[in-house]
Structure 1
Amino acid sequence: MAKKSVIQREKKRQKLEQKYRSIRQSAKKEKKKVLSLSDQWEIQRKLQSPPRNSAPTRLRRRCFLTGRARANYRDFGLSGHILREMVHACLLPGATRSSW
Structure 2
Amino acid sequence: MAKKASVERNRKRERLAQRYAAKREQLKAIARDQELPVDERFAAQLKLAALPRNSAVTRVRNRCEITGRPRGFYRKLRMSRIALRQLASQGMVPGMVKSSW
1:26 counterpart = 2:26: yes
> What is the aligned-residue identity percentage?
39
Q: Distance in 1 between matches of 2:9 and 2:32?
A: 33
Q: Distance in 1 between matches of 2:15 and 2:89?
A: 35
More off after superposition, 35-44 vs 72-81: 35-44
- Asked if 1 retains the 8 angstrom alpha-carbon contact of 2:63 and 2:78, the reply is yes
* Structure 1 match to 2:55: 54
Where do 5+ consecutive residues of structure 2 fail to align?
Answer: none
TM-score by length of 1: 0.87
* Aligned 1:1-100 pairs, distance under 5 A: 1-35=1-35, 36-100=37-101
Q: CA deviation at 1:34?
A: 4.1
Q: Secondary structure at the match of 1:43?
A: helix
- The CA deviation string for residues 15-61 of structure 1, in whole angstroms up to 9 with x for no partner, is 11111111001112222334333332221111111111111110001
Where do 5+ consecutive residues of structure 1 fail to align?
Answer: none
- Asked if 1 retains the 8 angstrom alpha-carbon contact of 2:13 and 2:55, the reply is yes
TM-score by length of 2: 0.87
Q: Distance in 2 between matches of 1:25 and 1:12?
A: 19
Aligned length: 100
Q: CA deviation at 1:64?
A: 0.7
4+ residue runs over 3 A deviation: none
